[in-house]
Every structure is written in structure tokens, then in C-alpha cells.
């Protein structure tokens, strides 16, 4: 027989118990364990046969519960039904002394579980923000009726339970979200890996085929590769392909543009810097070290200072980096890829590039062709960019008119594939029809076509082209560059070109370059 509930001693006991339960509730993070703990404590302290916690599923408008301890079935029902539903709607406690006599009672739960409900004490599960997240019920007081004191105790327990349940639910949602993020991350990684293989390097010309083949052949090694070529020829694209084809693909690919690093920062950026080397300097891990295990891509390596070149050489020889202001070197395992649009041999002759570093980099050499060397690939690339940017530009343009494609194929493309891509994007924005027409292309591209004899289309420069035509093309290029450089200032452009002002005006007129 339990202690008399009315004795002050027993009240104190209950509230001490409540404090203790509250602590345990807060340390239980597993939702199901928590439900069990709450139910166990409630039945024990109010001397009832069973306790049930109904959780409100707001989206479905249903209450659900693990119906009884030890029974793993979950029941769900319309949140407006039964005594639990009534408590939910009224948002206050309810004591039912004879369940089967109450019009609110929903007997099908009993018939499902085989339990016979006599009386019920039911209270809302309310969070501190006054949100009702469910209903808490205690069934069948062993010894008579539920008292007001039971009601207070169960309500107090329910308030603690609501907090703990809310936390546990938030936590499990976080865990689910985290799982989703991990999966998303994995599939994105896979997508990236696929996207950057040699399949991303488009073209059917012999030169592009050869590049794909070299990259595939180096994929199971960690040798350095030097990638040369003009701007916009796909040097970085190839570097990524090399990395994502290699065994290092799951490790970082770190690209550093040496030309973009201001001289005083080059060393700390590449090699890392210890805190306090100069006033206010924070500790910073170098890019070389962040590529550990993976690939470091040094773009525009021809612009690296001689001091940095010496330090880089040391990294390659010793396989360790020395931080600026660091005490001891840190071992690193990187594969180095480097790119440049400069002629490194010439840079060596001018004492601007170290020969020993050059030999280290140039184990394999990949030379990206200028776009004008692979004119046969222009239609393929142009069509690819058309599809690639359709969404972004919001246009459903599938094709080029024969004439516009011919114009694109004839142009010299000083900016190579990058320029082609931008030109296509621009034309897509301006196009009014479902095909790109000549008039959608930039003026200078169309004009060059007019200036260049048909014979050059599809041919390598120098092939079957008269000197006069070549000179004309060159002139147009130089004039355009000078005009771009001076933002259309004809006097300054004339000076750059070594022409008189009038001389330039005449040429602009002759080639139709006046804007």
C-alpha cells in the first residue's frame, strides 16, 4: 500500500521526485526512451496502471502514440477524437471517472490493445512557449479516483516532459538533416568527380583527343604536369580533369592564381604564416598545406617571384613546407600541376624563372591549343554552350543559323574558348528568334568575317592565305585591341598604334570599325 497522498511528507517526496525526473528527462536525448521514461515515472508516482503520451502530428492533424509500455505498436487517430482530442482542443486537463460512460471516450484503442480503461487523468503537453505538442494520459488509478493532487503532479510532469520532448525532437530532426546533408554531400562529390573527368573536355579534333589521352595516361600517377596555352584555352579545366581522374580525387583540389597574389602575401598565402610574425598577424594555413593528400594547381606560375620559386622548389624536393615564422617544417604530400600562358623557356633566359623548378614541373607537358587551331571544334563547343546557358539566360534557343555558325568558325578568337562562351551567352540574350543569327553576334566578330576572305574559314592561319589578307586581319586585331585598351579614345589608340589620328580614322572607316 502506498503512502497517504495527503501527508505533507509525501507531497515533498513527490516534488523531490519531480526534480529528479526533470534532470533525467533532460539528459535523455532518445525520443522513444524519453517517452518510456515519462510514462514509467507517471504510473509510479500517481499509482496508476498505465500512461500514454500522445504526440500531435500537426501536418496530418493526427495524434499518435506508442500505445503501451512493452507494446511496440504505434496508433494514430484523428486529433479531434477521444478524450485526448478533447484535452487538445480545450487545452486544459480532464479527469474522467468512468471511461465507458463518457461520450468522449474512444473505445477502439482499448479494443486494439486489450486493455480495459476505467478512469483517465489527461493533461495537455504544453511547451514554455505555450504551444501544445500533445496530450499526456494516466489510466486506471489503482486505488480509487485521481485526486487534484495527482492532477497537479501529472501537469507538472507534463510540463517538464514537453520541454524534453521538444528538445529531443529538434535533436532528431537535426540528426536527420545531418544525415541528409552527408548524403547530399556524397552525391554532389560524385557529381563533381564525374563532371570534371576528361569527358568535360569537349572536342573531336586530333589536338583535343591527344590531350584527353595524355590526361588519362597520367591518371594513375602523381607526376607533375605543366599545362601551357593562351588564356581561355581550358588549362584549368584540364587541371581539374587530371585531379578528378586520379586516385587523389577524394582529396582537395586547391587552385591558386599566382598572378592574383600581391607580392607581400605570396609566401604567407602559399606556405602559411605563424601568428605574431608581424604585429596583428593571425596564424594562417598555407594553400600548399590545405592541398595535402590532393592536388595543388598553381595557375599563372610564370608570375611567381624568384623567392617564392625557391621556396616552392624546396617543398617539392623535401616534401615539407616551412611556414613563415614557423619553427619546424610540416610534411606534405601534394601533386603539383602548374599552368602558364608565358613561354617559360624565354622566362628562364631572362632570369625570371628558375630552370631547376621548370624541370620539376615539366615532367609531363600538356599544351592547350588556341581555339583558332581547332576551328573544327567550334560548332560543337558553341552548341554545347548554347545548351549549357539556356536555363540561366531563360531562352529556348537550340541552334545557330548556318551563316552565324560560319561567322563563329571564321573569327580569330583571341580570348579562345572563354571568349566563345561569353559570346554565345551574349548572343542568346540578344537573340529574338529560336536560332542565333549573324546580327545577334558582336559587331567585331561579324566585321572580321567581312574582312577575312572566305578561304580562311576552317583553315589554319598561314594556309593558302595571301600576305595581304593576313596583314588585314592583323591590322583589325591591333586596332580593336588598342580601342579596347583606351576605351574608345581614338587619339590615344592612334598613339599606341603609331598612327596619325587621321590615319586611324581612315582605317576604322575602311574596316567598318566605327562605333
Q: Specify the stretch interacting with ligand ADP by CB under 6 A; choose among 5-13, 29-37, 287-295, 417-425.
A: 417-425
Taking CB under 6 A as the binding criterion, the range among 71-79, 83-91, 101-109, 201-209 that sits at the site for ligand ADP is: 201-209
Q: Please state the closest distance from residue 448 (CB atom) to ligand ADP, in A.
A: 21
Can you give the binding site for Mg ion, defined by CB under 5 A? 236
Cα pseudo-dihedral 29, 31, 33, 35, rounded to 10: 130
**What span, in angstroms and rounded, lies between the C-alpha atoms of 63 and 510?**
83
Among the listed ranges 34-42, 58-66, 130-138, 235-243, the one in contact with ligand ADP (CB under 6 A) is: 235-243
CB-count burial class (<10 Å; 0-12, 13-18, 19+) for 202: middle
Contacts of 210 (CB under 8 A, 6+ apart): none
x-or-dash string of contact with ligand ADP, 363-382, rule CB under 6 A: ------------------x-
How far apart (Å, rounded) are the C-alpha atoms in residues 100 and 117?
8
Q: How far is the CB of 299 from ligand ADP (least distance, A)?
A: 7
Residue 158 or 338: the one with the smaller Cβ distance to ligand ADP is 338
Q: Which helix (H) or strand (E) holds 367?
A: strand 364-367
232 binds ligand ADP (CB under 6 A): yes
Is residue 27 helix, strand or coil? helix
Closer to ligand ADP at the Cβ: 83 or 336? 336
Q: Which stretch binds ligand ADP (CB under 6 A): 119-127, 165-173, 199-207, 278-286?
A: 199-207
| Residue 202 contact, options ligand ADP, Mg ion, none, Cβ 5-8 Å cut-off depending on partner type | ligand ADP
Report CA 178 to chain centroid distance, whole Å.
Answer: 15
* Rounded distance between C-alpha atoms, residue 198 and residue 213, angstroms: 9
Q: Residue 442's closest CA among 461, 419, 460, 458?
A: 419
- Number of residues interacting with ligand ADP: please give it, by CB under 6 A: 16
Q: Which stretch binds ligand ADP (CB under 6 A): 30-38, 118-126, 415-423, 430-438?
A: 415-423
| CB nearer to ligand ADP: pick between 303 and 447 | 303
Task: Find which of Mg ion, ligand ADP, none residue 286 binds, CB within 5 to 8 Å per kind.
Answer: none
DSSP 41-79: HHHHHHTEEEEEEEEEETTTTEEEEEEETTEEEEEEEET
- Smallest gap from residue 248 Cβ to ligand ADP (A): 19
Distance CA 180, CA 488 (A): 54
Q: Are 405 and 382 in contact (CB under 8 A)?
A: yes
How far is 287 from 189, CA to CA, in rounded Å?
A: 21
From the list 82, 85, 93, 203, which residue makes contact with ligand ADP (rule: CB under 6 A)?
203
**Grid coordinates representing 239?**
587541371
The three-state secondary structure class of 105 is coil
How far apart CA 423 and CA 399 sit, in angstroms, is 14
Longest dimension (CA), the chain: 116
In the complex with ligand ADP, the residue whose CB is nearer, 68 or 226, is 226
Cβ closer to ligand ADP: 66 or 335? 335
| Closer by beta carbon to Mg ion, 55 or else 225 | 225
Between 333 and 343, CB nearer to ligand ADP: 343
Smallest separation, CB 208 to ligand ADP (Å) = 6
Instruction: Please spell the DSSP secondary structure of 316-329, one letter per residue.
Output: HHHSEE--BT-SS-
Alpha carbons 425 and 397: distance in angstroms, whole number? 11
Choice between 236 and 320, CB closer to Mg ion = 236
Shortest approach of ligand ADP to residue 232 CB, angstroms?
5
Alpha-carbon dihedral angle through residues 466, 472, 475, 477, given to the nearest 10 degrees: -90
Between 193 and 236, whose beta carbon lies closer to Mg ion? 236
Q: Is 418 in the site for ligand ADP (CB under 6 A)?
A: yes
Backbone angles phi, psi at 437, to 5 degrees: -105, 165
Instruction: Tell whether residue 202 is a contact of ligand ADP (CB under 6 A).
Output: yes
Secondary structure (3-state) at 399: strand
Closer to ligand ADP by Cβ: residue 25 or 445: 445
**Binder of residue 229, out of ligand ADP, Mg ion, none (CB less than 5 to 8 A by kind):** ligand ADP
- Min separation Cβ 235 and Mg ion, Å: 5
Q: Is 237 in the site for ligand ADP (CB under 6 A)?
A: yes
Q: Which range in 60-68, 135-143, 187-195, 200-208 contacts ligand ADP by CB under 6 A?
A: 200-208
Q: Which residue is nearest to ligand ADP (CB)?
A: 234
Helix/strand/coil percent split, the chain, to 5: 55, 15, 30
* CB of 167 or CB of 231, closer to ligand ADP: 231
From the list Mg ion, ligand ADP, none, partner contacted by residue 403 (C-beta under 5 to 8 A by kind): none
Is there a contact between 53 and 157 (Cβ–Cβ < 8 Å)?
no
Quote the least distance from Cβ 231 to ligand ADP, whole Å. 5
Q: Does 234 bind ligand ADP (CB under 6 A)?
A: yes
Q: If binding is defined by CB under 6 A, does position 235 make contact with ligand ADP? A: yes
Please give the residue ranges that form the binding site for ligand ADP (CB under 6 A): 201-203, 208, 229, 231-237, 381, 417-418, 421
Amino acid at each position: 500500500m502506498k503512502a497517504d497522498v495527503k501527508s505533507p511528507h509525501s507531497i515533498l517526496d513527490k516534488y523531490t521526485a519531480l526534480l529528479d525526473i526533470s534532470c533525467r528527462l533532460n539528459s535523455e536525448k532518445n525520443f522513444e526512451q524519453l517517452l518510456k521514461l515519462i510514462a514509467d515515472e507517471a504510473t509510479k508516482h500517481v499509482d496508476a496502471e498505465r500512461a500514454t503520451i500522445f504526440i500531435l502530428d500537426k501536418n496530418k492533424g493526427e495524434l499518435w502514440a506508442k500505445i503501451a509500455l512493452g507494446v511496440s505498436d504505434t496508433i494514430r487517430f484523428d486529433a479531434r477524437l477521444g478524450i485526448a482530442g478533447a484535452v487538445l482542443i480545450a487545452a486544459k486537463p480532464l479527469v474522467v471517472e468512468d471511461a465507458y460512460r463518457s461520450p468522449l471516450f474512444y473505445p477502439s484503442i482499448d479494443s486494439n490493445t486489450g486493455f480495459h480503461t476505467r478512469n483517465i487523468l489527461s493533461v495537455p503537453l504544453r511547451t514554455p512557449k505555450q504551444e501544445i505538442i500533445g496530450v499526456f494520459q494516466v489510466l486506471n488509478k489503482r486505488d480509487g479516483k485521481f485526486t487534484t493532487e495527482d492532477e497537479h503532479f501529472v501537469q507538472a510532469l507534463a510540463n517538464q516532459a514537453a520541454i524534453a520532448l521538444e528538445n529531443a525532437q529538434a535533436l532528431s530532426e537535426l540528426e536527420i538533416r545531418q544525415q541528409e546533408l552527408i548524403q547530399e554531400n556524397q552525391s554532389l562529390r560524385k557529381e563533381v568527380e564525374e563532371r570534371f573527368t576528361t569527358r568535360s573536355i569537349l572536342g573531336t579534333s586530333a589536338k583535343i583527343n591527344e590531350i584527353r589521352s595524355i590526361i588519362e595516361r597520367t591518371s594513375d600517377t602523381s607526376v607533375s604536369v605543366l599545362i601551357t596555352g593562351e588564356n581561355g584555352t581550358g588549362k584549368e579545366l584540364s587541371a581539374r580533369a587530371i585531379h578528378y581522374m586520379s586516385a587523389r580525387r577524394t582529396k582537395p583540389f586547391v587552385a591558386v592564381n599566382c598572378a592574383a597574389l600581391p607580392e607581400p602575401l605570396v609566401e604567407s598565402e602559399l606556405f602559411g604564416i605563424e601568428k605574431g610574425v608581424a604585429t596583428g598577424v593571425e596564424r594562417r594555413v598555407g594553400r600548399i598545406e590545405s592541398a595535402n593528400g590532393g592536388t595543388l594547381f598553381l595557375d599563372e606560375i610564370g608570375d611567381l617571384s624568384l623567392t617564392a620559386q625557391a621556396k616552392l622548389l624546396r617543398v617539392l624536393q623535401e616534401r615539407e613546407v616551412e611556414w613563415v615564422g614557423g619553427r619546424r617544417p610540416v610534411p606534405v604530400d601534394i601533386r603539383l600541376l602548374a599552368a602558364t600562358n608565358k613561354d617559360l623557356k624565354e622566362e628562364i633566359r631572362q632570369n625570371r624563372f628558375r630552370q631547376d623548378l621548370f624541370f620539376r614541373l615539366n615532367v609531363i607537358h600538356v599544351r592547350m591549343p588556341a581555339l583558332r587551331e581547332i576551328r573544327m571544334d567550334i560548332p560543337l563547343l558553341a552548341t554545347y554552350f548554347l545548351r549549357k546557358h539556356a536555363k540561366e539566360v531563360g531562352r529556348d534557343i537550340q541552334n545557330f543559323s548556318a551563316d552565324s555558325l560560319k561567322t563563329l568558325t571564321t573569327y580569330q578568337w583571341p580570348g579562345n574558348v572563354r571568349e566563345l562562351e561569353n559570346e554565345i551567352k551574349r548572343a542568346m540574350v540578344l537573340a529574338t528568334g529560336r536560332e542565333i543569327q549573324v546580327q545577334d553576334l558582336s559587331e567585331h566578330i561579324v566585321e572580321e568575317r567581312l574582312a577575312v576572305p572566305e578561304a580562311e574559314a576552317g583553315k589554319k592561319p598561314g594556309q593558302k592565305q595571301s600576305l595581304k589578307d593576313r596583314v588585314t586581319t592583323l591590322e583589325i586585331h591591333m586596332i580593336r585591341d588598342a580601342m579596347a585598351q583606351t576605351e574608345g579614345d581614338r587619339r590615344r589608340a592612334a598613339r599606341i598604334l603609331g598612327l596619325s589620328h587621321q590615319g586611324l580614322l581612315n582605317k576604322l572607316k575602311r574596316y567598318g570599325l566605327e562605333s
